[in-house]
C-alpha cells in the first residue's frame, strides 16, 4: 500500500515575494512556495518530486489517493478554540497567529523548576498571574512529571496538586489546559474550571479517556509518544521519524473522530523529546510544516528540552532560554499555533517582534523593476 505526504520545503515571508506562487499554511502567518510530494510503500520512500504551489495544485488529479485532502488540509484555516468559562461567558483562542501557552508544573520532580511551585501555592499563583500578565493565552497545569525515568504518580496525589491550581486560575478568568493521562483528573479539572485536555499519551493510557473526552466536548491535545503504559519514552524505533510520527498522529486523530470528538476540537503535538533522539527531534522540528497536512492546529513543546542542552555544552535546564527561543521561532516560522513554554515574557516578546516582521513583509513589499 502506498502512502502519500505533501511536505512544504520552502517557506517565504509573503506570497508577494513569489509573485503569488505560494500558499498560506493553516490560515496563519506562514507561507510555502515549494513542496515535496513523497510516496512511501512498505516503510520505504519510493518517489519524491518537488513542485511549486501552482504546479502542485494543477497536478493533484494525477497524484495518488490522499493528495487532494492533504492539499486542502495544508491551506485549511482554523476557527478559534471556543472555551466556556466556569463563571459564565466565553473565551476564544485565535489560531490565525501563534499563541503562547505558559507551563505551570505543580510537581515535586519537574525537570525545569525542581518542584518550586508545589510546596508554596502562593508562589505558584504569583507565577501563573505573571505569565498571564506577560501575554500567555493559556496556562497548562500538570501534576505529574513525564520526563524520562520519572516515577508514576498516584491519581489521588495528582488530583490534590492539580485541582487547587485550576480553581485559582479559573477565578482569575484564565484559559486553562490540564496536562494529564487520567480520566478522573481530566473530569475533576474540567469541573474545577479547566477548558482543554492535554494528554501526552493521546488518550491511550486509560481506555476510559477517549470516551470521557468525547462526552465532555472539551478540546483535546493529542501528543505523540511511542511508549505504552507508564513508560511513554520507550519503543522509539523509527524507520523515518517524520513520516512515522505523521502516520501515528493521523491514526490518533481518526480514532478521536470515530469516538465522537469534533474535528475543530482536536489539536496535535509531535511530542518533541518523548522517545526521540536528538537527531529525531531536530528532524521533526525541521519538518513541522508537514504536520499541517493533517488538518488540525498544532502545539509544540520544545522549551528547555534536553536537545537544547545536548547542542549547547550540556547547559542545565534553567540556562536554556536562548535555545528555547530559537525553537519557538522555528515553530512560528512553520505556522505552529500553540507554543508551550516555560519562559513566557521572553517568548511573548520574541513573538511580537516576529509578528512585526511578518506584518512588514505583507504590507511593505516593493515590486522590483524589470
d(CA 104, CA 122): 13
Stretch (H or E) spanning 139: strand 138-142
Nearest 10 degrees: CA dihedral of 119, 123, 128, 131?
-130
Which of helix, strand or coil describes residue 153?
coil
DSSP 205-228: SSTTHHHHHHHHT--EEEE-----
Annotated active-site positions, please?
305, 340
Q: For residue 263, which phi and psi values (nearest 5 degrees)?
A: -60, -40
CA proximity to 331, closest of 355, 299, 304, 360: 299
CA proximity to 184, closest of 215, 164, 165, 158: 158
First-last CA distance in the chain? 48
Amino acid at each position: 500500500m502506498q502512502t502519500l505526504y505533501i511536505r512544504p520545503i520552502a517557506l517565504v515571508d509573503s506570497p508577494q515575494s513569489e509573485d503569488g506562487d505560494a500558499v498560506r499554511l493553516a490560515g496563519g502567518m506562514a507561507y510555502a512556495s515549494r513542496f515535496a510530494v513523497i510516496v512511501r510503500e512498505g516503510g520505504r520512500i519510493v518517489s519524491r518530486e518537488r513542485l511549486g504551489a501552482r504546479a502542485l495544485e494543477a497536478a493533484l488529479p494525477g497524484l495518488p489517493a490522499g493528495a487532494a485532502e492533504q492539499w486542502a488540509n495544508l491551506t485549511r484555516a482554523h476557527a478559534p478554540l471556543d472555551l466556556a468559562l466556569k463563571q459564565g461567558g466565553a473565551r476564544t483562542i485565535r489560531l490565525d497567529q501563534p499563541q503562547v501557552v505558559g507551563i505551570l508544573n505543580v510537581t515535586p520532580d519537574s525537570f525545569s523548576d525542581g518542584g518550586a511551585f508545589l510546596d508554596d501555592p502562593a508562589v505558584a499563583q504569583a507565577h501563573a498571574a505573571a505569565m498571564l500578565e506577560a501575554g500567555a493565552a493559556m496556562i497548562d497545569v500538570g501534576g505529574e512529571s513525564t520526563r524520562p525515568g520519572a516515577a508514576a504518580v498516584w491519581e489521588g496525589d495528582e488530583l490534590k496538586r492539580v485541582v487547587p491550581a485550576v480553581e485559582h486560575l479559573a477565578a482569575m478568568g484564565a484559559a486553562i489546559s490540564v496536562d494529564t493521562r487520567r480520566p478522573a483528573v481530566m473530569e475533576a479539572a474540567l469541573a474545577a474550571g479547566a477548558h482543554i485536555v492535554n494528554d501526552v499519551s493521546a488518550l491511550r493510557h486509560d481506555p476510559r479517556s477517549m470516551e470521557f473526552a468525547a462526552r465532555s466536548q472539551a478540546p483535546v491535545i493529542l501528543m505523540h509518544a511511542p511508549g505504552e503504559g507508564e513508560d511513554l519514552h520507550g519503543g522509539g524505533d523509527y524507520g523515518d521519524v517524520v513520516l512515522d510520527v505523521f502516520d501515528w498522529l493521523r491514526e490518533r486523530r481518526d480514532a478521536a473522530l470515530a469516538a465522537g470528538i469534533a474535528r475543530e476540537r482536536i489539536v496535535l503535538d509531535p511530542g518533541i523529546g518523548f522517545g526521540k533522539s536528538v537527531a529525531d527531534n531536530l528532524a521533526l522540528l525541521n519538518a513541522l510544516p508537514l504536520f499541517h497536512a493533517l488538518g488540525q492546529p498544532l502545539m509544540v513543546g520544545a522549551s528547555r528540552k534536553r536537545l537544547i542542552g545536548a547542542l549547547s555544552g550540556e547547559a542545565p535546564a534553567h540556562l536554556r532560554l536562548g535555545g528555547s527561543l530559537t525553537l519557538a521561532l522555528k515553530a512560528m516560522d512553520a505556522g505552529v499555533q500553540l507554543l508551550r513554554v516555560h519562559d513566557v515574557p521572553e517568548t511573548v516578546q520574541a513573538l511580537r517582534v516576529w509578528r512585526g516582521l511578518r506584518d512588514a513583509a505583507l504590507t511593505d513589499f516593493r515590486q522590483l523593476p524589470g
